[in-house]
Every structure is written in structure tokens, then in C-alpha cells.
């Protein structure tokens, strides 16, 4: 039973993250482009151009939607379509301040994930109710969403919000105080997770963690992650153009695409290289990403948007160090790829090998 629940939860979290990632990309890309046109002010990048302000508005809409979408699709994965509406509402509730006593509490990602799971199981339980046909027809559109939103909304406001808010505050304080070796260690772990499955569940876990911290005003881990996401495809792409005796023509064509994907922060550009040679590629890109992310945490590089690569350089507090850390991590990855990847066998050597095997077979 517990094993099945564990699998359901993993599936639910992966579903929620996979649906909210495109929303994050919309928000991050539009914010990055709009902030690139701004000027540095006392409160950060100030956008004055009317068109860029509109891009900023679209980007902000994407960022505000990501937590409700996360909660909704976690609930959907467990409870089906009736879980979507209450999931959206409860996710919105977590993303906005709730007054508890004399304080305002926002729980963000943590609250959304908990309420998404709770909504999914609550809906699943209600779907099993034995009711007559008339009630059954209005259950999915009226009774299930209203009752789920009401019950769990009240539980959140009166029971969960305050302790979750305290936990998020404690976590924020701890991570904000990280310096020196502790900060580097966190950056290294983020970098390793980022490159490990190149956009898969482990990568998404790191992404979700850093974006959760962003909602509390902690931007350092996000800066490290945004450096790290670009390194695997950049390292693979550049290595394919440099080490010509270890990459074939098809690799070099993929390499050009991988470099472009790296510049816009899409880690999946490294996947074709890893598929062809996991032993040589995976350690190289993991170490490269760990170096870049560790440096970013040590230097205090922060990124204010949930997207990575060079297109968001204007949305960082230290653009030059952001680019430098990415370049150093990429250089490490390229060097390791050139060392660890085996040389390509030439066509002539393959023919000689086949001829030798044929002679040996005839002699036997």
C-alpha cells in the first residue's frame, strides 16, 4: 500500500512539474527580454519602454500562474479532471498572503504541493461515493470542486498556513545565511542534480527547489541552477566542434543545435550525446555543471527569473560573473569530454578488423 502511494506521489509531482514548466518558460523568457531593455535602479531593473512593459506584464502573468498550475496538475494526476478546479483555487491561495492572527503568511511551492496532493486524494475519495444518478451527474462540476475547495481551503487557512509559513521562514533564513564552503556545497549539489538526467525528474526537483526559494526572496540557488542548466548542452556542442576525432559529422550537426539550446537554457540539448556515450558524457557534464553552480553560489550570483542560459543575463545581479561561471563550467565539461570520450574508429580500421576475423575463421 505504502509503495503504491509512494509511486502515486512521485507520478503526481512529476506531472505537476511537467505541466508548469512551459508556464515558467513563458514567464522567464518574457521577463528576461523585458528586463534586458531596462536600466539598473534602486529597486532592480526598471523597464520604461511601453512595449517592453507589456512583455514584462505577460512574463509576470506566467510567473504568477506557475504555482496554481503546479497544485492543479498534482491534484489532476491523483484525482482526475475534477481535481483541476479546486487545485487551481488552492494553489492560488498558497501563492497569496493569508492573514493568520496579526501576520500574513505565504507558503508558495510547499503549500501548493501539499494542497495539490490533499485535493487529489479528497477528490478521489468523493468520486467513490455511492449516490443516485441525478446527483452523480452534477458531482464533477458542482459538488466535488466546491466541497474540496471549501474543506481544504479552511484547513489550510486555520491549520496549515501558520506552521508551513514558519518552516518556510526558517528555511529561508538558513539558506540566506549560507557562506563559503556551505554555499559551495549547495551549489555543487544543485549542479550535479541539474546535469544528472538533463531535464528529467532529478533536474526538475532541483528546479522546483530553487523556484520555491525565489518566492521567499532567496535568489542565490536559482542563480546557481540557471548557470548549471546551460553547461551540459554548451559543453557537448563545443566539444563536438573541437574534438573532431571523437565526434562524427552527425554529432557536429547536433552540436550546433546544442550550443543554441544551451544559450537559451535548455539542458535537454545534451541528451543525444549522452544516449550515444553515457560513460563519457554524463561524468563530464555533471562535473562541469557542479563547478559552474558551485562558483555561482560562492560568488553570490543571483538570478531573478525562472529561466537560464545567456538570454537571462540581464536579470542577474552580477552579469559578468554569471557569464564567467557558465564559461568556466563549460570549459571543464569540454575538457573532460575530450579526455573521457573514446576516439572514433576509422572505416579502414574497421575493414582491417573484419578481414582479420574472416582469415581467423577460415584458418579454424
Q: Where are the chain's structural domains?
A: 2-176, 180-348
The least confident of 93-97, 156-160, 360-364 is: 360-364
Phi-psi region of 302 (alpha: psi -120 to 50; beta: other; left: phi over 0): beta
Give the confidence band of 275 by pLDDT, cuts at 50, 70, 90: confident
Residue (of 10, 20, 171, 30) closest to 91 by Cα position: 20
Q: What confidence category does residue 354 fall into, taking pLDDT thresholds of 50, 70 and 90?
A: low
Taking the C-alpha atoms of residue 82 and residue 94, their distance in angstroms, rounded to an integer, is 19
Contact 49, 37 (CB under 8 A): yes
SS3 category, 317:
coil
Tens digits of residue pLDDT in 107-127? 878 888 899 999 999 999 999
Pairing outcome for strands 98-100 and 103-105: antiparallel
Q: Name 364's Cβ contacts closer than 8 Å, sequence gap at least 6.
A: none
Position 339 pLDDT exceeds 90: yes
Amino acid at each position: 500500500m505504502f509503495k503504491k502511494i509512494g509511486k502515486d506521489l512521485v507520478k503526481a509531482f512529476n506531472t505537476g512539474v511537467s505541466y508548469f514548466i512551459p508556464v515558467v518558460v513563458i514567464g522567464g523568457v518574457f521577463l528576461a527580454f523585458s528586463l534586458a531593455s531596462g536600466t539598473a535602479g534602486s529597486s532592480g531593473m526598471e523597464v520604461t519602454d511601453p512595449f517592453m512593459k507589456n512583455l514584462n506584464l505577460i512574463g509576470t502573468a506566467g510567473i504568477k500562474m506557475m504555482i496554481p498550475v503546479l497544485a492543479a496538475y498534482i491534484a489532476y494526476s491523483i484525482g482526475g479532471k475534477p481535481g483541476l478546479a479546486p487545485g487551481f483555487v488552492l494553489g492560488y491561495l498558497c501563492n497569496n498572503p493569508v492573514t493568520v492572527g496579526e501576520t500574513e503568511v505565504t507558503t508558495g511551492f510547499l503549500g501548493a504541493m501539499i494542497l495539490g496532493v490533499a485535493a487529489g486524494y479528497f477528490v478521489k475519495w468523493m468520486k467513490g461515493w455511492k449516490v443516485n444518478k441525478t446527483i452523480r451527474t452534477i458531482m464533477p462540476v458542482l459538488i466535488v470542486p466546491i466541497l474540496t475547495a471549501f474543506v481544504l481551503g479552511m484547513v489550510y487557512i486555520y491549520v496549515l498556513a501558520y506552521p508551513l509559513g514558519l518552516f518556510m521562514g526558517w528555511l529561508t533564513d538558513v539558506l540566506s545565511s549560507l557562506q563559503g564552503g556551505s554555499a559551495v556545497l549547495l551549489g555543487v549539489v544543485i549542479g550535479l542534480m541539474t546535469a544528472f538526467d538533463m531535464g528529467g525528474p532529478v533536474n526538475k526537483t532541483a528546479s522546483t527547489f530553487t523556484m520555491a526559494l525565489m518566492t521567499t526572496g532567496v535568489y542565490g540557488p536559482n542563480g546557481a541552477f540557471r548557470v548549471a542548466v546551460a553547461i551540459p548542452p554548451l559543453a557537448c556542442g563545443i566539444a563536438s566542434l573541437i574534438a573532431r576525432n571523437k565526434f562524427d559529422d552527425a554529432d557536429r550537426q547536433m552540436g550546433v543545435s546544442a550550443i543554441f539550446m544551451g544559450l537559451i537554457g535548455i539542458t535537454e540539448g545534451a541528451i543525444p550525446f549522452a544516449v550515444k556515450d553515457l560513460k563519457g558524457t554524463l561524468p563530464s557534464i555533471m562535473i562541469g555543471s557542479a563547478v559552474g553552480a558551485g562558483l555561482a553560489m560562492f560568488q553570490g550570483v543571483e538570478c531573478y527569473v525562472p529561466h537560464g542560459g545567456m538570454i537571462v543575463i540581464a536579470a542577474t545581479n552580477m552579469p559578468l560573473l554569471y557569464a564567467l561561471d557558465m564559461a568556466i563550467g563549460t570549459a571543464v565539461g569540454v575538457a573532460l569530454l575530450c579526455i573521457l570520450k573514446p576516439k572514433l574508429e576509422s572505416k579502414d580500421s574497421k575493414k582491417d578488423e573484419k578481414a582479420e576475423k574472416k582469415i581467423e575463421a577460415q584458418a579454424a
